[in-house]
Amino acid sequence: MRKAAGVLLNCLVSVALLSGCAAIDAASVPVAGQQKASLAAPEHVMLPADGRTIDLSIYRPVSAPLGAIFLSHGAGGSPARLELLIDRLRDAGFVVLAPLHGDALLIPEDRREDLRTALMTRIGDLQAVSAYSAQAFPDLPYGAVGHSYGSLIGLIGGGALQMFDARVPRIEAVASFSSPGIIPGLTEPEGRLETVAVPTLMITGTADTVEPFALDPQSHATYFERQPAGDRTLLVINGASHDFVYGEEAHYDEAMDLLVTFLRAELLDDAAAATSLASAQTGSGITIRR
């Protein structure tokens, strides 16, 4: 990790994650009463890592889990803000392991990390939570899901940005809600995203913009286009914004169905899900690229 920190300081100069790796949204703070009551509240594990403590939320399905998911929230976000997504994953039989990253708005300002610093601690969270998952759920297949900044962390676990040496071999698939955009010096030059070694699904939208690196919604597709052909799928949701993940926009249920189908196909070796995913076609609300 020391080597990776040196790389980070060299490649992130004047621009950087501090001002826009992902949009920090007031909606990142959970609203009281939004959480569903049908599933149990998360367990909290205070996980030691690199001299600090990670607040890890563990969301279990009702029955015995079929697979495990590392979930990385967006800049300033939190697991609680993603509970609609989490409940869909739990309903599908997955246990979700979601750390509260150091840049979360729920953390008091005097202890909160800026987005530049948070890159390294987020990578540390990925490593620590993945190691914990290997001990707590050793027999379960393991994948990653992320939103925006969290998408980048999931892809790093899947083999992107090899200068960080942070590939998690247990991760078998990565699903991304949008991206932080193309970041000069980090995701550029070309070649840094091409090393993803697992199947991927990206969900973005025609109104998905993030300042300053993704002013054009099409820029998110660059992540898809630079990953190895064959094991990649892109869903472009008509009218969807960067906040699509929160479940307040059209076509959310359709996209969630495709997400669950992807995870079942890739993590659970579900032949019916694989067939369904392969046969899914572009419709009026969702464009599918492969």
Task: Tell me the two tokens of residue 263.
Answer: 């995870």
Letter string b/e over residues 17-53, b meaning 16 or more CB atoms within 10 A of that residue's CB: beebbbbbbeebebeeeebeeebeebeebebebeeee
Helix segments in the chain, DSSP class H = 2-11, 17-20, 83-91, 115-136, 149-157, 221-226, 252-267, 271-279
Q: Is the pLDDT of residue 38 over 60?
A: yes
Give the mean pLDDT of the chain: 89
Banded pLDDT at 6 (limits 50, 70, 90): very low
Q: Quick one: pLDDT at residue 24? A: 54
Burial (CB count within 10 angstroms: exposed 0-12, middle 13-18, buried 19+), residue 249: middle
Q: Is the pLDDT of residue 33 over 80?
A: no
Asked which of 85-89, 146-150, 170-174, 190-194 is least confident by mean pLDDT, the reply is 190-194
Q: Is the pLDDT of residue 159 over 80?
A: yes
Q: Is the pLDDT of residue 15 over 60?
A: no
> Cβ–Cβ contacts within 10 Å for residue 260, how many?
18
* Length of the chain measured in residues: 290
Helix segments in 137-207, DSSP class H = 149-157
Query: In this structure, are residues 50 and 120 in contact, taking their beta carbons and an 8 Å threshold?
Result: no
Q: Delineate the domains of the chain, giving CATH numbers in brackets.
A: 2-10+40-289 (3.40.50.1820)
**pLDDT > 90: percent of the chain:** 78
Rounded CA-CA distance 210/188 in Å is 17
Banded pLDDT at 191 (limits 50, 70, 90): confident
Residues 212-268 have pLDDT tens digits of 778 899 989 999 999 888 899 999 999 999 999 999 999 999 999 999 999 999 999
pLDDT (mean) for 275-290: 96
**pLDDT > 70: percent of the chain:** 87
Q: Is the pLDDT of residue 16 over 70?
A: no
Q: Quick one: pLDDT at residue 213? A: 74
Q: Quick one: pLDDT at residue 117? A: 93
Query: In this structure, are residues 231 and 265 in contact, taking their beta carbons and an 8 Å threshold?
Result: no
Asked which of 17-21, 242-246, 271-275 is least confident by mean pLDDT, the reply is 17-21
Residue, of 6 and 209, whose pLDDT is higher: 209
State the number of CA atoms in the 13 A half-sphere of 24 facing the CB: 13
Q: Is the pLDDT of residue 158 over 70?
A: yes
Q: Quick one: pLDDT at residue 32? A: 35
| Phi, psi for 233 (deg, rounded to 5) | -140, 135
Query: In this structure, are residues 160 and 192 in contact, taking their beta carbons and an 8 Å threshold?
Result: yes
Q: Quick one: pLDDT at residue 23? A: 52
